Structure 1
């Protein structure tokens, strides 16, 4: 029996329809790349120290030594969280005592920043850190803010995966777009960190989910030739372009409310896509909605100016698709088979390793030496060649080579950063960007590998499970960077070691290079590298499997 790609081959390749779907879905990801990292600037912590009020009646000489010196990362700096007792300083000032001549400053009692903080405005006019004093005892709220965002993404990707498998890819795609835009708009009116964090959770609910749904929709709608390009140069490259635009916007808009306002404006790009993005014909067939699927394919044929077969789907093929509709698939169906659940487990671990490294490296750009705007742009720019390399690897190499080579490269380079002397910050940044290159390419590849492993009837659910596992890693990523405050190189050791582990783990997955996308769970179970069930589902016979394998 013919596969879906064989049935729809009459559409040709790279016709007007395929280009419309490709560029519309790619365009839908531009705002995701644009808004995805703005927290790097909105929640950055500028240099700060305790505020010494002008009315404190302290002479200039004592004001200059009012902040204790502390050692941090081998350097002596002014403390950010303590000051010498203003009462003592005021008394010494009134007595005309001279610091370190009449009084040893280091012996004066210290106190916390009772009058708040003074923040440098050299880089930012305002951030949520300066807005609500998220420093010292409250500095834990900064990584917590990002973790809440990723927590929202966890819930959103899980629920949207289930709903898009049941209700359709297209409607859930636009629902998530609306959630993302509305939540971003609401952030502007936050009057406390708690309100900002709650809305940011809702923003995360929609922002990652529409990315994932768009990816699945494109893979299911496009043919084999376009699919490989879409999986690397489509949504991923579009995200990178949006990502590269973000540092420029942050450089021009240095007050956090204005920057968030620019994020809201980017949501207007979604509006025209309603008339351009179709539903997935493959999904419609899996739900038994044959007439709707045929209508989309006939419209695609008119756009491509090709002849439509008199009969697109034969009665037997329709019966096969309708047979898949008789059962509503759930997570239990994905996990019931030991062999299939092991693939889910390995893919989930890969997603966690890659996402942890990818998000940690993004969040770390503001901690690197030099301009945070330039560092963020470099982090974004390195993604473009990474996606080109991923495309070439996916097109010409086995999936084992694609996944393992990129992870091993990224992990090895990141581990090597700890050996670079502190006198060469530029070299450290170059190695970090090379590591980001490898992890980014691995991120692109793992989407393709996962979508090729799972069948249409549960593909979005399976992708949702993997993405949910990735969100767990995302929740931890801000705290991986936070560990750098106590041990500078500990984040690099963790990220590099896990990436190398993932590069070896992926070799356990079945090889999908050159194979057709499975339509049913049984077809997935009969893939080479998976143990077949003793009593396979009758929706595909052994002879059909052998015939398909013989084609490759």
Structure 2
């Protein structure tokens, strides 16, 4: 077996070849952003009321404006607001008979009828000519259907996280990417051609299912092509392409105001990745690990050529020697292993049990709040297209701050700061909006607070990925990440229903998001700090770490050097460092 880390040390940990591949892989984040945040525009809910012939027929009643039509035909609910799901049950034919601005047909009419049982709905189409909501009448009794479609999308992400991580390890990164690309294409085409709601929701689930598989495979392949020291930068930067994708969505929605046209435009924007997929190689690290050395060597030689490095026969011999030593060491470790580990081990000992619950809650909150703010941008005052772009900009700024400060400030403190910033600014935004009235300065301040909340939650979501890998020991690390990701998916599934509460109580969604953000931020301060710590290996080591006993990476290296000096006959092993991570889209 070839030790790919040794090959990387010769060809460069982040050379020209890796940069080109990374940029092509990053493009996958654009369709991911387009699909995940698409409902902001495609499922936009405009103002609506019942169709009220002949009063909205300009050839018969040409002097009535919208406010007057509402006052004449629409009943008022207990809160003094127009009940736009119903209208007065007047005789339409009689009104046509009178015509000429006569309202005799409305006199004495107090009974009401639902829009569905009367003449259907009228929608304000000044912003979008057609959305999923207006085409399928997802208002009034069916308003929950629109939010349910987004929850179904999040359910697809959950299914994708369960299936494709394992598939990628079994068949390879690139085959999984190809399968997922085809699946996403089928889902996007099916969604745009869907004639009814349930078909649309099903195809949205398919998009999410395969889209998450694409994200996992793309993220893993870039992580396996670079050196350890570049993984924080490249890993967080991977999420920037998602933000770019949903910023582009503003341009798509501005240019095409019909939801089907928007979906077709998203399909076209996704096509370049199909070309890049031809050029993106399989992961040589994975190929070496499964014994496909010939193909892996070919890719490695191409990498060396682009990076202007020669891989001599001596280098290959040394890489093979080190690889074989690693295999022998792994086999020894397996022989010494007396038991296998599962997710149940995350809850056995008190230290890791508490850490697991805190990690699950943190992932849940991050997903709940992140998608809550991203999908509810349409509720903010101002231009929906500009607001969506600003939200993306806040996300990119947040990623930059994480890259700069994460190693300097520490994972725990920065995570807590980001969550507390998000939670407190969302609560502030809610309070300001409740008392703003028509004061434009206060309205603008409320929007600014909301964007600060978006910046905070974007940063905390980026941090929790890295932090989780360091909080759990190697024997249960994958299980820890998996259970955190599952908690995040549950948060995403619930998000649309939290947003839906604004139909009845306008201030409730952001209050919920803000409160959860503050609680998660305070709870984050109880995590142990992992910055500069060596990776945990065993459950016993993890329990000691949670109890406050820890060893820095530098101390660990010094200990290993002393042990090596004490036993000169012991062979030196070149250890692989595997970066295990699970990534959701903002998928």
Q: TM class by shorter-chain length?
A: 0.7 to 0.9
Displacement, 1:282?
A: 5.0
Pairing 1:70–2:76 present = yes
Pairing 1:396–2:398 present = no
Matching residue of 2:585: none
- Aligned-residue CA RMSD (Å): 3.9
Distance in 2, matches of 1:21 and 1:97, equals 68
- Secondary structure in structure 1 of the residue aligned to 2:87: strand
Determine if contact 1:340/1:525 at 8 Å carries over to the other structure. no
Determine if contact 1:42/1:256 at 8 Å carries over to the other structure. yes
Displacement, 1:241?
A: 1.3
Pairing 1:146–2:150 present = yes
Displacement, 1:102?
A: 11
Matching residue of 1:409: 421
Matching residue of 1:243: 246
Note closer, same or farther for the CA distance 1:207–1:525 as it changes in structure 2 (3 Å cut): farther
Displacement, 1:545?
A: 10
Matching residue of 1:26: 26
Displacement, 1:50?
A: 0.5
Determine if contact 2:499/2:509 at 8 Å carries over to the other structure. yes
Matching residue of 1:535: none
Note closer, same or farther for the CA distance 1:274–1:457 as it changes in structure 2 (3 Å cut): farther
Determine if contact 1:66/1:83 at 8 Å carries over to the other structure. no
Displacement, 1:523?
A: 8.8
Matches of residues 278-427 of structure 1 in structure 2 within 5 Å? 278-283=281-286, 296-297=299-300, 299-308=302-311, 309=315, 310-312=317-319, 313-314=321-322, 315-321=324-330, 331-332=342-343, 335=346, 338=349, 343-420=355-432, 421-422=435-436, 423=439, 424-427=442-445
Distance in 2, matches of 1:336 and 1:169, equals 32
- Secondary structure in structure 2 of the residue aligned to 1:139: helix
Residue in structure 2 matching 1:131, options 127, 135, 138:
135
Q: Which range moved further: 363-372 or 326-335?
A: 326-335
Distance in 1, matches of 2:282 and 2:345, equals 24
Q: Which range moved further: 256-265 or 338-347?
A: 338-347
Pairing 1:253–2:248 present = no
Matching residue of 1:467: 485
Q: Deviations over 1:426-474 (max 9, x none)?
A: 1111110111011111111122223445678976665443322211111
Distance in 2, matches of 1:209 and 1:178, equals 11
Matching residue of 1:264: 267
Matching residue of 1:539: none
Distance in 2, matches of 1:501 and 1:95, equals 61
TM-score by length of 2: 0.79
Determine if contact 2:501/2:509 at 8 Å carries over to the other structure. yes
Distance in 1, matches of 2:333 and 2:192, equals 47
Distance in 2, matches of 1:467 and 1:311, equals 39
Matching residue of 2:160: 156
Question: Tell me, which stretches of 5 or more residues in structure 1 are unaligned?
Answer: 533-541
Matching residue of 1:51: 51
Displacement, 1:490?
A: 1.4
- Secondary structure in structure 2 of the residue aligned to 1:36: helix
Matching residue of 2:113: 111
Matches of residues 471-482 of structure 1 in structure 2 within 5 Å? 471-482=489-500
Matches of residues 78-117 of structure 1 in structure 2 within 5 Å? 78-87=82-91, 90=94, 94=98, 108-113=110-115, 114-117=118-121
Note closer, same or farther for the CA distance 1:147–1:16 as it changes in structure 2 (3 Å cut): same
Note closer, same or farther for the CA distance 1:124–1:67 as it changes in structure 2 (3 Å cut): same
Determine if contact 1:34/1:245 at 8 Å carries over to the other structure. yes
Distance in 1, matches of 2:85 and 2:119, equals 11
Note closer, same or farther for the CA distance 1:464–1:526 as it changes in structure 2 (3 Å cut): closer
Pairing 1:227–2:219 present = no
Q: Which range moved further: 155-164 or 266-275?
A: 266-275
Q: Deviations over 1:489-515 (max 9, x none)?
A: 211121111112222333444543245
Determine if contact 1:390/1:441 at 8 Å carries over to the other structure. yes
Displacement, 1:161?
A: 2.1
Residue in structure 2 matching 1:547, options 560, 575, 584:
560
Distance in 2, matches of 1:139 and 1:223, equals 49
Note closer, same or farther for the CA distance 1:5–1:67 as it changes in structure 2 (3 Å cut): farther
Determine if contact 2:399/2:458 at 8 Å carries over to the other structure. yes
- Secondary structure in structure 1 of the residue aligned to 2:149: helix
Distance in 1, matches of 2:171 and 2:119, equals 55
TM-score by length of 1: 0.84
Note closer, same or farther for the CA distance 1:392–1:412 as it changes in structure 2 (3 Å cut): same
Q: Deviations over 1:304-360 (max 9, x none)?
A: 233543411523223234567899988548748645565444333211101100100
